[in-house]
Amino acid sequence: MIVVTGATGNVGRPLVAALAAAGAQVTAVSRSKPAEWPSGIAHRRADLAEPEGLRPVLDGADALFLFPQGPADALVDVAKAGGVRRIVLLSSQGAGTRPGAYAHFAGFERAVRNSGLAWTVLRPGGFATNTLAWQESIRVNWTAAAPFGDVALPFVDPADVAEVAAKVLLGDGHAGRVYELTGPAPLTPRERAHAIGEALGVAVRFLDQSPADARAEMAAQVPGPIADATLAVLGDPLPAERRVSPDVERILGRPARSFAEWAARSAAAFE
């Protein structure tokens, strides 16, 4: 049995679907169960912040997809006690490129590396789904505001992260590996706004946002240091953050999905 935490999120949902489609026995975990949940896929409510609550869920599990929330070491201990032998961690590119700022992820990586289990770390770059922050402004007046409009980064489609995770959970040869997951090409925020407009069949106007305004918006949702680190990546990316990684294509045997593909699939979210 494979336990998927973060199971109702951008990565978790397609991962659960892919594992179930492959015939695996899956238990999906999140704090709340969505009103619409596929019948036939087990869902358990638990909070990663309270590892003891996961003990009955992980009892008898073979593998765990670990969403990086809660106390890393205690979560790994509970997984081991339940019989888990394979663990796949959803980390972040930042754990490698800016370990100081992304110490939270580095801590999770340390916990799985030291677990003695067959571990694999997934380090995605920025998600295509981050542009859902434009949902309302695109719906209301066809505009999309962001800082650093001409700085290009290879955002990854979370569906690709999920597909890689499914391969790693179901296949062999991935133990002790760290995979960096990006899209197939760097795109600027301006180009992403244009791609969403193309998918909608309308012109989406890009508005340059000041870094200070962007920080204020971000700091309402994430801790200040994370907002600062994110802005640093968006505005002044390191060469390793601009780079297109070959790992998605290597693992899936096909190119990573483009941002345009994600926008076409997600157009309804902006209407």
Q: Using CB under 6 A, list all residues that contact ligand NAP.
A: 5-12, 30-32, 47-49, 67-70, 90, 92, 124, 126-127, 130, 158
Say how far apart CA 187 and CA 157 lie, in whole Å.
13
Q: Which is nearer to ligand NAP, 173 or 223 (CB)?
A: 223
Please identify, using beta-carbon distances, which residue of 37 and 142 lies nearer to ligand NAP. Answer: 37
Q: To 5 degrees, how large is the angle CA 31–CA 84–CA 100?
A: 65
* Least spacing, CB of residue 249 vs ligand NAP, in Å: 19
Residues 6 or more apart whose Cβ sits within 8 Å of residue 193? 131, 134, 144, 146, 204, 205, 206
* Smallest distance, ligand NAP to C-beta of residue 42, A: 15
Does residue 12 contact residue 67 with C-beta atoms inside 8 Å? yes
Q: Hey, what amino acid is at 14? A: P
Rounded to a whole number of angstroms, the minimum distance from the CB of residue 107 to ligand NAP is: 12
Q: What 3-state DSSP class applies to 83? A: coil
Instruction: Give, to the nearest 10 degrees, the angle between helix 103-113 and helix 72-82.
Output: 30
Query: Residue 142 and residue 202: Cα distance in Å, rounded?
Result: 8
**Minimum separation from the CB atom of position 47 to ligand NAP (A):** 4
Nearer to ligand NAP, 7 or 195 (CB): 7
Looking at the Cβ atoms of 75 and 260, the one nearer to ligand NAP is 75
- Please state, in angstroms and rounded to a whole number, the distance separating the CA atoms of residues 21 and 248: 20
Residue 113 or 141 with smaller CB distance to ligand NAP = 113
Residue nearest to ligand NAP (CB): 9
Nearer to ligand NAP, 69 or 209 (CB): 69
DSSP code, position 125 = -
Query: Shortest Cβ distance from residue 124 to ligand NAP (Å)?
Result: 4
Shortest reach from residue 109's CB to ligand NAP, in Å:
12
Could you tell me whether strands 86-90 and 63-66 are parallel, antiparallel, or unpaired per DSSP bridges?
parallel
